[in-house]
Amino acid sequence: MTRLLSSAIAALLLLLVAGGCVSEQERQASAAVADYFSGNLAAAAARLQPLAQNTDSNFVLNNARLGSCYLAMGKLDEAEAAFLKAYEVINSLGVNNGGRSLGAVLVDEKIKIWKGEPFERAMVNFYLGVIYAMRQDYANCRAAMENALFKLQEYQDAKSDQFKERDSDFAIAYLMLGRCFQRLGRDDLAQANFDAAVRVLPSLAPLADLRLQAQSNVLLVVEVGYGPHKVTDFDGSIVGFAPTPPQQGPVPWPMTYVDGRWAAIPGIHPPPLDLLALAQERRWQSIDTIRAVKSAVGTGLIYGGAIYGAAAANRRNGMSSQDALVSAAMIGTGLLLKAVSQADVRQWEMLPRSIYLIPLHLAPGTHQLSLRFPNARGLDYTWNQLSVPEHGDVTFYLRAHPAAPNMAAMPR
């Protein structure tokens, strides 16, 4: 029986250690992220494509990563398909019910199907909205932005009689919603959403202007910087996001030049979205406490087992085999608990720190458009053939990144 027990513990430890090793899929995903940030978007997409087909616990994550690649490449159909796959699972409830939830709590959090933190879920919807805006499909853009707001909405106690929705912090989605409603002929709802954006971020007042947005026939969606990354504490059981906005410093801000002339747009800085700030509001985390308790109990069992063993060994007649077994079992269980209290640090690495929305009013025809970032090195973009149609408007997406000057999706 002792032998069986020891083998079982050894096997489980091996399993956990093996589980902690980086799999081939994770290696491929990491390589794809590296390709993305070095500007080799085609290689990143090629690596992610087979991973994104796999309906495992990383299905949403890999499709979100793939969508980021395709969007930066300007492949809107492919980006839409990838983001829609992620969107469908994010919108499905109870995906992790049953064995997965229990396994994630008791064994390893990575067992759960990754649906992302609320800001990551909101970003999947936001990107879908940007894709639909680029296609001038404002009905779907509106729907995507509304769903993005759902993901970041705050609620008072759901059990309370005075249940009430509060505004989401996602001001950028309110701005986009305002634009959508304007283009769908609902100025009343556009105004309500612009007002909501200003309530969340008063500095947006000049930008959230009905007339300015109505006149604008070109919208630049410009992403800068790196999004938050997950960090764990000394024993890996508590997770947080770093860096904080003060640690990272000011967001690079863009200056827009049209046909060589500076276009002064009121209210574009500070940006309507700073994911580093948003990530600090980790009000949604639910199993940090469970992991911390598992880790603390594990530590207690390790110390308890060691003390028990030492006390037994100091007895006059020495340590019996029963004492040795109890001590080993306590230490083993403690180690197991420590091992299974590791936080899930999977995250969507491609997210930017900030997104600027730059509305422009340009005459129909071809223009030269330049974006310069005075407080950031290596960010300087010029497009000589930006085509503005006679009717309707165009949306243009740019991922400003020093190593990758061509991560931009031209309007179609």
Q: Which residues contribute to the site for other proteins (CB under 8 A)?
A: 1-2, 4-5, 8-9, 12, 15, 55-57, 59-60, 80, 84, 87-89, 91-107, 111-113, 115, 128, 132, 139-140, 143-144, 146-147, 149-150, 153, 155, 158, 163, 165, 286-287, 325-326, 329, 333
Smallest distance, Å, CB 116 to other proteins? 10
Cis peptide bond upstream of 270, omega within 30: yes
Tokens of 270: 């500070």
Which CB atom, from 182 or from 216, has the smaller least distance to other proteins? Answer: 182
Query: Cα(331)–Cα(202) distance, rounded to whole angstroms?
Result: 55
218-224 vs 394-400, strand pairing mode: parallel
Which CB atom, from 211 or from 391, has the smaller least distance to other proteins? Answer: 391
Which CB atom, from 85 or from 353, has the smaller least distance to other proteins? Answer: 85
Which CB atom, from 181 or from 253, has the smaller least distance to other proteins? Answer: 181
Smallest distance, Å, CB 231 to other proteins? 21
DSSP letter for each residue of 11-67? HHHHHHHHHHSPPHHHHHHHHHHHHHHTT-HHHHHHHHHHHHH--STTHHHHHHHHH
Smallest distance, Å, CB 104 to other proteins? 7
List beta partners, residue 224.
Answer: 354, 400
Which CB atom, from 293 or from 376, has the smaller least distance to other proteins? Answer: 293
- Sign for the CA dihedral angle at 232, 238, 241, 246 comes to negative
- Sign for the CA dihedral angle at 285, 246, 30, 405 comes to positive
Which CB atom, from 180 or from 379, has the smaller least distance to other proteins? Answer: 180
Smallest distance, Å, CB 284 to other proteins? 9
The values of phi and psi at residue 179, to 5°, are -60, -45
Query: Cα(134)–Cα(210) distance, rounded to whole angstroms?
Result: 20
Smallest distance, Å, CB 135 to other proteins? 9
Smallest distance, Å, CB 331 to other proteins? 12
